[in-house]
Structures are given as C-alpha cells and as structure tokens.
C-alpha cells in the first residue's frame, strides 16, 4: 500500500514538473539529409569535447582543457567542422547560439590558469540542453 502511494505521488510530481501540454519552443530546421548528419556529428563532437574539458578541469589540467576548448569547440574549430555551408539553413537564433558557444569556448581557452577561467564555456550548456529534449 505504501509503495502504491509513493508511486502515485511520484507520478503526480513528475506530471507537475513536465506537463504534457507544455509548448515546445524549438523550431524544426529542415536541411538535406547529408547536411543534417554532418551537423549532428558536429554537435556530438562538441558534447564529447565538453566531457573531456570537464575531466581535464577536474584533474587540474587547465592548459589541456583550454586546448580542447579552442581546437574542438572554439572559433578555431569552425574550419575543421566545415560548418559554414550549414549556416544558411539555420534560423538566426540558432546561428546566434552557435556563434556564442564558439566564442565562449575561445574566451575560456585564452585564460587556462584556473578553474574560474572555464566559466565562459558554461553557455555551451544551453546549447547542450537544447538538444536533450
């Protein structure tokens, strides 16, 4: 009986947190399938790089974290990602979010002396959160 009550309470709590009728503010971006696959591969690479940055910071390897941030997410990474041909398919808000992410990573990479220097890379989590839904 206690288990059933706890389950019902949890279900109601989750319903309150994640209402089924909530509007999804995201916009479907249509592009040719090969370009979509390329963009998703770039996004996945950014997520992997974020994990590596966090691991390097946790280990006190600030210069390593800075190198990963710049080379794999920062402004220097754009040419390697070949992303310029994707921009025309992105709405302005998506372009702005991506540019902010790349700039934040580059700012982080310029000051690799302490964990606080990694703070500018935190806007990347907004980018990550937009894809987890």
Say whether pLDDT at 67 is over 80: yes
Burial class from Cβ neighbours inside 10 Å (0-12, 13-18, 19+) for residue 3 reads exposed
Give pLDDT tens digits for 110-122. Answer: 875 655 555 445 4
Confidence of residue 28 (pLDDT cuts 50, 70, 90): confident
Distance CA 68, CA 76 (A): 11
Please give the model's pTM, rounded to 2 decimal places: 0.67
């Amino acid at each position: 009986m206690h288990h059933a009550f706890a389950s019902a309470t949890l279900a109601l709590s989750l319903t309150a947190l994640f209402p089924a009728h909530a509007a999804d503010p995201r916009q479907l971006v249509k592009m040719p399938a090969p370009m979509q696959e390329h963009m998703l591969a770039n996004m996945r690479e950014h997520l992997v790089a974020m994990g590596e940055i966090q691991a390097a910071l946790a280990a006190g390897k600030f210069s390593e974290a800075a190198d990963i941030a710049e080379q794999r997410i920062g402004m220097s990474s754009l040419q390697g990602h070949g992303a310029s041909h994707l921009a025309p398919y992105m709405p302005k808000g998506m372009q702005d979010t991506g540019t902010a992410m790349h700039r934040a990573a580059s700012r982080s990479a310029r000051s690799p002396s302490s964990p606080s220097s990694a703070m500018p890379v935190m806007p990347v989590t907004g980018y990550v959160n937009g894809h987890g839904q």
